[in-house]
Structure 1
Amino acid sequence: MGSNSRESLLRWSYISTLSTASLQLIAATVITRFLKPSDYGLAAMAMVCSNLASYFTQLGMDRAIIQRPDLTEGNIQAALTASLATGLVGFTGLAAASHGLALYFREPRLPGIIIAFGLNLLFQSFAMIAGGLLRRELQIRKLAICDIAAYLLSTFGLGLPLAMKGYGVWALVASNVSQTLFAAIGYYIARRHSVRLTFVRENFRDITGFGAKVSVTTMVEALSGSADTLVLGRLVSPQVLGLYNRSLTLSMQPIYALSTGLSRVFHPSIARAAERTLAECRSMLQSSEQQLMGVILPVCIGAAVAAPTLIPAIFGRQWAGSIPVYQALCIDAALDASFHLPTIQLEVLSRFRAKLIVQVLYGMVLAASAVVAAPRGIVMVAYVFVVLQFLRTLWLHWLSARSLGTSLFKLLNSWVPGALCGAIVGGVVYTLQTSISRFRPDTPLLFRLLLLIFAGLAVGTLLYRMFFYDSMFQPWASVFGGVRGRTAVVQIQEEVGVA
């Protein structure tokens, strides 16, 4: 496979994730104006229940499919059988627990919403088999097309029309659940596989063993990551939770798109690299994290500084109360994205126990901190979460560095270009935003936001081109701009023969 074809893996991965993130931003700008914060608060409560049920019941079959060196037809059938069985168990259990969960959240409207979100468990259990096969085979272009089509159909075909007609929270339910269904259908069309169930023990032996380990650690990660919504959903009103949820979603969406775009290729590639030497894993992780954080840190810092313009421009002036929450959660989003690649690397090397300990402690402290901080306001809760996220990030990076035979300092040194760029971009955005407010206060909000985005993008690109050409500008330009060069993922793929 030629160099351009290798680079197209990341290009298509980012086309998918960034296109979806852009569409989500457009949808948020429109749909939010037809819904109330309480609608998002109710959806957040129900969605966290559905997500936790999914993590409790799914056995990580998609990751097991990616990880297994020699995958047989029997393994695929076993993965499908286990996935469908646990998905059905999860849906049934969630439906049975819906009234109890509504009592916990003190919200009588929840049972029906929880059951509707629970349909995701059934659709996901089928989607993860074809999705895992597509990722294993690095069919990123097909994944991208399926993801974009699913989002367009669900959000603009169902969610937006229902929101405009006044269906409130049910517009969010329809959009979310139908997206999973459309993606499942698209994945299967793109990568057909046997739908025959099997009960032959040999087919389950290896694939469910790895999947179970992944499931346990993912379940704990989900619990720790959902502790804020679980606690706040009981302590605050749906409206306050809705403000928090919208701020969290807006801060996480672009960051999730950036990290997912790279991890889709990073995971199968480092899994093959790990079969050879730790040196290859270390080189790949350091280079990939440098490129990832080189984008994420400037984006998060710039967005936090631009929040007084960004929030009213996207959600409307009635959401101005969420500005300080959003600013804190931008920092939280950057820290959250920073350890995605190290945790994948720990998973590939089967360091599950270390990850498990970190996530359990983080979840326990997060829940306790939310209870203590909630009476002092949602802003205080957000900043407490930032501190805890910082500590978790350092711990996971230390574990990753130790497993690869390097130091924490060397691993975090890959953040330097992004930190420098973020500081400069933040300063430019602050100066420009302040100047516009002082000298041209009548400038339309949307025009202000576009001006800030363009200025931040131009400054960041110029900085990397002048001072970090080989390590930052050329790798990203090779993916999006056609400049010859190799990303860290492409480099490792060439060395291990994945591509």
Structure 2
Amino acid sequence: MTQLGSATVKGMRWTYLAGVAAIVLQLPYAAVMARLLTPEDFGLMALAHLVLRFAHHFAQGGLRSAVVQRATLTDRDIRVTFTLALLVGTCSFAAVWCVAPYATELVRGPAELTRVIRATALMLVFMALGAPAAGLLARAMRYRAVALTDFLSFAVGYCLVGFTSALSGAGVWSLVYGTLCWYFLQALLPCLLVRHSLRPLFDLPAMRDILGFGGKVSVNGFLEYLTEDFGKLAIGRYVGITAAGLYDRAALLASLPLHQIQTAASKVLLPAFSRIRHETGRLGASYTDCVCLTALILLPLWAVIGASSDQLVALLLGGQWTGAAELVPMLGLVSVLALLAQFLGTLVEAMGLVGPKVLIHLVQLAVLVTGTALALAAGGGIQALMAVVLTGQAIRLALLQAWLSRLFPATRRPVAAAYAQAAGLAAATWTVLWCLQHTLDGRCPTALLLAAKLITAGALAVCCARYGGSLRGVRVARERGLLPAALTRHHPARTQ
């Protein structure tokens, strides 16, 4: 295995470890907060994040990606990037402050929503100022540092501050305080580790050069915001704040482990792909391996979450969130498609081909707008709106996959086989868990039923890893050394 391959594998291990730790921490945190706060509190914060996500992509300005992807990087470039971050973050905060009342009117929210939006908008400044340092850590492939800073900022900033604020009766403001502390630490800790120069440097030609790539990343990020949060916006406006809160918590349960896995992978793969972006054969092989592994993890995991939605909502959220259970399976599938598409987007971003992504996002947005209008005209409720979101995500993934198949023709058959195998395994997992539920339902407490499902799913995963050598994703995991030795028997790692 090459030095790059070894560093990438180590990075995957560290980021996945941090992701698992975050899941272990966030599940009990979500369970406690769901009992301390109301659906209306989460609905307010969910709608506030819709506005903030609108500006969040411009606040970063694609600066982190520009630092990672850039072929050469000097101290002067870093100073210019930090200056851009300061300007963009401050302007984004000011813009959100001004538009907050109009955003509240758009979603027909209460007056308190304006105050929540304005206060939380301070995260945009933190996010922008931390982007250069975070990019430098990723560029240097210091994955252990990235994983630790991400976990510590989440644990201390978001969970600890949010929990103590909720206990003191802060209501929705506990979510605001937790979010601000989270992003503040996410900016501070990388800066302390990297210690790059904080002296501003105004160099317009250099700024234009950096924004030439970073600006395209920001535009794509903005379009992703429109497409990914379109359903939540429509539900908040046409169904109500409480429905938006149910949607938000259902989306959390449906996508939490999926999102952690894919986010961890993206942080490692962007710098790794960037380093070999001119080696077409090697890049195509790495892309195929990553698709095989990612699909085989995400689709069966979605099946576990979807088949256990009733038990997960009852135990983690409580009785006031019963309506969220029926939303989890479809939202989980939406998350899987979105995360697979996000992975493909990471690849083309590393190659510097971010322009054509705009057209794909515009097609998806057109599908969402048209589908939502038809669903509302037909009197459809939240389920109809989610079906529109699912259709849009499926079209986006199909277009991205077709584009990459043209760039790497040799990958078509193995990638198609990987998707088919992952879908088949997901269907088999769901069927087994469905049979288990119908066997035990009403005969044991909800907690024991969920435990039985998780144990069964874990046993299936272990069997798959040990005996599923015909599955492409399993072969990749063995060859890359991503599985424990006890599960790999004597399968040697592939050399590069």
Cα deviation digits, residues 326-350 of structure 1 (max 9, x gap): 1111111111111222112222333
Query: What is the 5 A alignment of 1:168-247?
Result: 168-247=171-250
- The structural deviation recorded for 1:405 is 3.1
- The structural deviation recorded for 1:484 is 10
Aligned to 1:460: 461
- Are the aligned partners of 2:216 and 2:355 in contact in 1 as well (CA < 8 Å)? no
Normalized against structure 2, the TM-score is what? 0.92
Aligned to 2:445: 444
Q: Could you tell me how far apart the structure 2 residues matched to 1:128 and 1:483 are?
A: 40
- The structural deviation recorded for 1:2 is 10
The one-letter code sitting in structure 2 at the alignment partner of 1:324 is E
Q: Could you tell me how far apart the structure 1 residues matched to 2:244 and 2:106 are?
A: 15
Aligned to 1:37: 39
1:193 match: secondary structure = coil
2:482 match: secondary structure = helix
- Are the aligned partners of 2:250 and 2:328 in contact in 1 as well (CA < 8 Å)? yes
**Match 1:144 to one of 126, 142, 147:** 147
Aligned to 1:295: 297
Normalized against structure 1, the TM-score is what? 0.92
The one-letter code sitting in structure 1 at the alignment partner of 2:275 is R
- Are the aligned partners of 2:89 and 2:125 in contact in 1 as well (CA < 8 Å)? yes
Aligned to 2:433: 429
Aligned to 1:403: 407
Q: Could you tell me how far apart the structure 2 residues matched to 1:44 and 1:391 are?
A: 25
Q: Could you tell me how far apart the structure 2 residues matched to 1:10 and 1:136 are?
A: 15
- The structural deviation recorded for 1:372 is 3.6
Shifted more, 220-229 versus 38-47: the winner is: 220-229
Count residues in correspondence.
485
- The structural deviation recorded for 1:243 is 0.6
Q: Could you tell me how far apart the structure 2 residues matched to 1:463 and 1:428 are?
A: 14
Shifted more, 184-193 versus 344-353: the winner is: 344-353
Cα deviation digits, residues 241-267 of structure 1 (max 9, x gap): 111111112212211111112121111
Alpha-carbon distance change, 238 to 2 in structure 1, aligned in 2, over 3 angstroms:
closer
Shifted more, 445-454 versus 278-287: the winner is: 445-454
1:174 match: secondary structure = helix
2:121 match: secondary structure = helix
The one-letter code sitting in structure 2 at the alignment partner of 1:143 is V
**Match 2:18 to one of 16, 19, 23:** 16
2:188 match: secondary structure = helix
- The structural deviation recorded for 1:470 is 7.9
- Are the aligned partners of 2:296 and 2:422 in contact in 1 as well (CA < 8 Å)? yes
- The structural deviation recorded for 1:376 is 2.0
- Are the aligned partners of 1:343 and 1:400 in contact in 2 as well (CA < 8 Å)? no
Query: What is the 5 A alignment of 1:237-386?
Result: 237-275=240-278, 277-374=279-376, 375-386=379-390
The one-letter code sitting in structure 2 at the alignment partner of 1:454 is I
Cα deviation digits, residues 377-419 of structure 1 (max 9, x gap): 2122222222222122111110111122346554332223322
- The structural deviation recorded for 1:235 is 1.2
Aligned to 2:134: 131
- Are the aligned partners of 1:61 and 1:129 in contact in 2 as well (CA < 8 Å)? yes
Aligned to 1:117: 120
Q: Could you tell me how far apart the structure 1 residues matched to 2:77 and 2:240 are?
A: 47
The one-letter code sitting in structure 1 at the alignment partner of 2:468 is F
- The structural deviation recorded for 1:221 is 1.6
Q: Could you tell me how far apart the structure 2 residues matched to 1:6 and 1:283 are?
A: 15
Q: Could you tell me how far apart the structure 1 residues matched to 2:210 and 2:32 are?
A: 43
Aligned to 1:481: 484
Alpha-carbon distance change, 272 to 5 in structure 1, aligned in 2, over 3 angstroms:
closer
The one-letter code sitting in structure 1 at the alignment partner of 2:100 is S
RMSD: 2.2
The one-letter code sitting in structure 2 at the alignment partner of 1:391 is I
Alpha-carbon distance change, 483 to 194 in structure 1, aligned in 2, over 3 angstroms:
farther
- The structural deviation recorded for 1:471 is 4.1
Alpha-carbon distance change, 223 to 451 in structure 1, aligned in 2, over 3 angstroms:
same
- The structural deviation recorded for 1:281 is 1.4
Q: Could you tell me how far apart the structure 2 residues matched to 1:200 and 1:251 are?
A: 45
Q: Could you tell me how far apart the structure 1 residues matched to 2:5 and 2:412 are?
A: 33
Query: What is the 5 A alignment of 1:21-170?
Result: 21-107=23-109, 108-170=111-173
Q: Could you tell me how far apart the structure 2 residues matched to 1:414 and 1:71 are?
A: 37
Shifted more, 372-381 versus 56-65: the winner is: 372-381
Q: Could you tell me how far apart the structure 1 residues matched to 2:89 and 2:158 are?
A: 24
